[in-house]
Amino acid sequence: MDTFFSTLINNNEIELSKSESHHCIIVKRKKINDKVKVVDGNGYVYVSSIVNANKNCVILKIEEKKKSLSPANNLHLVISPTKSQDRIDWMVEKATEIGVEEITFLLCSRTERKKINLDRIKRISISALKQCGQAYLPKINDIQEFRFVIESIEANQKYIAHLEDDDNKVFLSKTYKSGKSSVIVIGPEGDFTKDEINIAKNNHFTPVTLGENTLRTETAGVYVSSLVNILND
């Protein structure tokens, strides 16, 4: 059964956006009375039938409503955007599939990309949501200054993954506690500056290592997302 995305839900009816309607009628060739799934990004899945097959505005009747389990990891991934848009897109797609709760893009001293295309990134996240069967859409925040994020963000456990020599660094897998909300901060390709690391430490971030290998920024984001999922099983 094909899956579509909508937040336009009222009583027993769902309206698809213009782009989703076009995809439903023109691309997928759905007709009146065909059954589809609709996800709202907030954990609900609706089995619905098409009552109006207009390519600009599909209307569906809800036949069954299901609540999915909460995201397993309660992870807020804070990550510096890469210079390559394709690598950002890939990371967001995989983080959505894994079930990350929130993504914030971070402007550090060595960040190569100063702006992001938030609309594009959200579209990619929605596409990944529909493809993988997830029902929860991560909240995705625009790029924000390092100090503001570090000083304002809240979670039960806060980690910063960096490459500097640091006797206090521990393996994330050894210090992470399952079942608690967490923030993990991933820096740019050139790593955080020493000043940024100290700011994080002063705001109760635990320095962690992700292992012996030096990972690309987007790989590190997907790695920690997967690791947190595994540790929460």
Give the model confidence (pLDDT) of 191-200 as tens digits. Answer: 999 999 999 9
Residue % of the chain over a pLDDT of 70: 99
Q: What's this model's pTM, rounded to 2 decimal places?
A: 0.92
Among 40, 56, 134, CA closest to 48? 40
* 173/177 Cα distance (integer angstroms): 9
| Overall average pLDDT of the 111-125 stretch | 95
Domains of the chain: 3-67 (2.40.240.20), 75-232 (3.40.1280.10)
Name residue 83's amino acid: K
Q: What is the mean pLDDT of the chain?
A: 94
Q: What phi and psi values does residue 215 have, to the nearest 5 degrees?
A: -95, 150
211: left (phi over 0), alpha (psi -120 to 50) or beta: left
